[in-house]
Structure 1
Amino acid sequence: MAPPLNSIISRLHLKQLRLLIALADHGSLQSAAKQVSLTQPGASKALQEIETTFGTALFNRTNRGLEPNEIGHCVIRYARLIHTDLAHLREEIVGIMRGHGGRVSVGVIMGAVPRVTDAVSALIAQHSEMSVEIVEDTSAALLNLIDTGRLDLAVCRTTISQTPSLYDSVKLQDETLAVIANVNHPLYTPERITLRELADYRWVVYRANMPMRMLLEREFREAEIRFPSNLLETTSAFATLSLLQGNPSFVALVSIDVAQFFTRHGITRILPLTLSSRSEPYELVTRKGAPASPGAKLLIEKLLNPTSDVDAAALR
């Protein structure tokens, strides 16, 4: 049985977490002890105290050294997260003391990447010492990261959540979709083409039950065309681009912002296909009731007002 949380909090020390990380990195008590400035007997005692705290062994003792067991891998993963969070805490404190906002972590779904990167670029232009982490993933994954405090904010959709009331959200922009292809796609023409003409080509799409995928399925259904069965599924903009570059006959459904970015750089073409369905808008999402850091406030302002030149002092 796992020990109570209060027991873990009162008995676990940061230096012990450093020892766990060192043990995972080296697999040797002697090397780990040296890294965290402990004697080998001191490190052995500290490991015993850690395992007593969690009420179970965390490592298997083998002739190759110490190897984390399943619970050990779990504890080490969280030890690394805590260590990273403390590093981020320090960055943010330094940033606040220097008056530039510190650090901010933002999540984004593929279609909104251009909007977010434009906002980040504008932010960095005004606050060059700001540290920014950008995580691209699905709405479900990003909301989970917001739940656990791993992200300050995200540009995604709360409609996919069973508990949207857990979030504060603001509509950011409507999403218009486009079909893109390699510049040498055999069907490319400046004239209008139909969905039926594209039905037999290989599609790069989001996986099932995601808003953009469901919209495409609805388009096929309303046109009374069988939905393609041989699909390439990805949520990655880079994977989509790489597939189109390597396969001139492939087509992909993306947001118009992503489509225009790729096309503007001569990487893909936007096919002249008119879609009747509309996608759900992007939202700027934060955890309900959670205070925003100075860095998060600055980025939120850039996302909501892309042309504004709000100074950090105005947000404090």
Structure 2
Amino acid sequence: MLPSLSFIASRLRLKHIRLLVAIDDEGSILRAAKQVALSQPGATKALQEIEEALGETLFVRTNRGLNPNELGDCVIRYARLIYTDLAHLREEMAGIMEGYGGRVSIGMIMGAVPAASEMITKLMAKQPALSVQIVEDTSARLLQLLDDGRLDLAVCRPGISHHREAYESIKVREEQLAVVANIANPLATMNGLGLTELAHCPWIVYSANMPMRRYLEREFHELGLEFPTGLVETTSAFATLSLIHRNPAMVALMASDVAAFFQRFQMVSVLPLHLRSRSDPYHLVMRRDRTLSPAAQMLAEAFIRDPGAGETPGDQPGPAPFLGAGVAAFPA
């Protein structure tokens, strides 16, 4: 039987929270003990206290170390949230005492990087002591990091989640797609292209079942074309650029904003191909059960108020209800 909340709260200590995070990081009670400045017997005793407080075993003991079971994964996730909240508490206290500063961690999909970079640069010009951590990854991975308390905000597609009700979000931008190639690729000089001319090219694509991959497959299908088989799958912009540089015959699907950024610096050519599909819009996302720190609040406001955040000037969202009033009213 699961112990009562008052029993758990009376038994667990902050040293237990630190130890759980350390065990997850290190995978070993010995290395975790060193991280939190405990002896190995002391760490073993503290772990026993944790499991006694919760009334369940949290780890599987193996010759290689400790592996969390399903309950262990759950407890570690919340331990990280508690520890992250403590870190945010300290940073906010420092910001209040000093009158500026703070720290915010934000994740973003590749297509959001150009617009997000501009907003972050503007914000840091106004708040030079602000510390920003940026993580670029897929929407699925970013939502997991958001769930784990490793991110304050994410710019991604919350619709891929099976528990979207856990998030507050506001639409940031409708994403258009472009096909790019090496600047020396002769296709770049043509007046117009169709997918028929690209069907036999070696393609760089996102992994199967990812939104951008599905849209490209649909474009081929609607034209009655076989989807190319000579594929390289990656979500890395750097890998895409490197491959296009080394093989001028390759073409790749990108978000239009990213493609335009790379073309501006003559790293790729955007091919004269019109794609009818648009990718799902991406959103500014946060956990519904969490309150943004002042630094994260500032960054969220920058996204929503910046004129470049919407599709067109006429489509700009008005000031979101939560601005200046906390994030409780963040529209879904």
What is the TM-score of this pair, normalised by structure 2? 0.76
Measure, in 1, the Cα distance between the counterparts of 2:262 and 2:80.
37
Deviation at 1:240, TM superposition (A): 2.2
**8 Å contact 1:186–1:249 — kept in the other structure?**
no
Give the residue type in structure 2 aligned to 1:127: Q
**8 Å contact 1:244–1:251 — kept in the other structure?**
yes
**8 Å contact 1:101–1:298 — kept in the other structure?**
no
CA offsets, 1:161-186, max 9 Å, x none? 44544433322222221111122335
Cα 1:216/1:36, change in 2 over 3 Å:
closer
Correspondence for 1:220: 220
Correspondence for 1:182: 182
Correspondence for 1:200: 200
Q: RMSD between aligned alpha carbons? A: 3.6
Measure, in 2, the Cα distance between the counterparts of 1:57 and 1:285.
31
Deviation at 1:51, TM superposition (A): 4.9
Measure, in 2, the Cα distance between the counterparts of 1:223 and 1:59.
53
Number of positions where the alignment pairs a residue of Structure 1 with one of Structure 2: 308
**8 Å contact 1:177–1:279 — kept in the other structure?**
yes
Deviation at 1:251, TM superposition (A): 0.9
Q: Which runs of 5+ in 2 are unaligned?
A: 309-322, 326-332
Measure, in 2, the Cα distance between the counterparts of 1:286 and 1:2.
30
Q: Which runs of 5+ in 1 are unaligned?
A: 309-313
Deviation at 1:228, TM superposition (A): 1.2
Deviation at 1:197, TM superposition (A): 1.1
| Larger displacement relative to structure 2 (131-140 or 70-79) | 70-79
Cα 1:84/1:271, change in 2 over 3 Å:
same
**8 Å contact 2:91–2:102 — kept in the other structure?**
yes
2:254 is the alignment partner of 1:254: yes
Deviation at 1:219, TM superposition (A): 1.4
Correspondence for 1:271: 271
Measure, in 1, the Cα distance between the counterparts of 2:72 and 2:80.
11
Deviation at 1:106, TM superposition (A): 1.8
CA offsets, 1:94-117, max 9 Å, x none? 224333352222221111111111
**8 Å contact 2:29–2:44 — kept in the other structure?**
no
Cα 1:69/1:275, change in 2 over 3 Å:
closer
Give the residue type in structure 1 aligned to 2:46: A
Cα 1:274/1:83, change in 2 over 3 Å:
same
Cα 1:210/1:129, change in 2 over 3 Å:
same
- Identity percentage over the alignment? 54
Measure, in 2, the Cα distance between the counterparts of 1:173 and 1:190.
30
Correspondence for 1:298: 298
